[in-house]
Structure 1
Amino acid sequence: MDTVPLPSPLLSELIALRAHTRHLGWLSERERCPEQYERLARTVLQDLLDGWLAQTDGIGRLEDLIQPLAHTHRQAPSTRCGSPMAQSQRHMTTREFT
């Protein structure tokens, strides 16, 4: 079974963001509030871009983050980052991750 290290605080935040945004398409089909949606979505995208710029020493672009995924099945992202202590923590299976 595939294993990944427990996520770092940074990756934990991204995982939480994904968990909170995964139903936006479904909800958007049922509610209409385009002005508020646009304003909030822009702030979320700016937060993601700020983090990506920090991760890429200022050379990352928003377009880097919106490219289609190469894989066609759900897979846990690699969590090979963070402090050496975080990397040495127990591993969890992909099943636990999703």
Structure 2
Amino acid sequence: MPLVMVRIPKKIAKKWVLKHKKDGIDEYNISIFLKLQYELQNFELTPENLLLFTMRFQKRGGQPMKASLWVRERKINHVVELILIRAHAELL
């Protein structure tokens, strides 16, 4: 099992993550989710060779939501780096 590192660029952290922080999503939750789902091979491969993860969560008001997270995978020896490229959240 390779070591998995998750990186969230500042641009996404300042815009998207900060916007949805009040909904219960933060950098820690995203990184743990991506790491576990990657280890379980629970993702889709897009035509752009990105990994698409789907995260379901509930807003504090009780509304169910779905977040789509596009991630680039970079392998170096026995280390896998997952870089969050794009994210989108919508109501279910």
Shorter-chain TM-score: which interval? under 0.3
The alignment's TM-score, normalised by the length of structure 2, stands at: 0.27
Return the structure number with greater strand share.
2
The alignment's TM-score, normalised by the length of structure 1, stands at: 0.26
Return the structure number with greater helix share.
1
The higher relative CO (CA closer than 8 Å, separation ≥ 6) is in: 1
- Which protein shows a greater Rg? 1
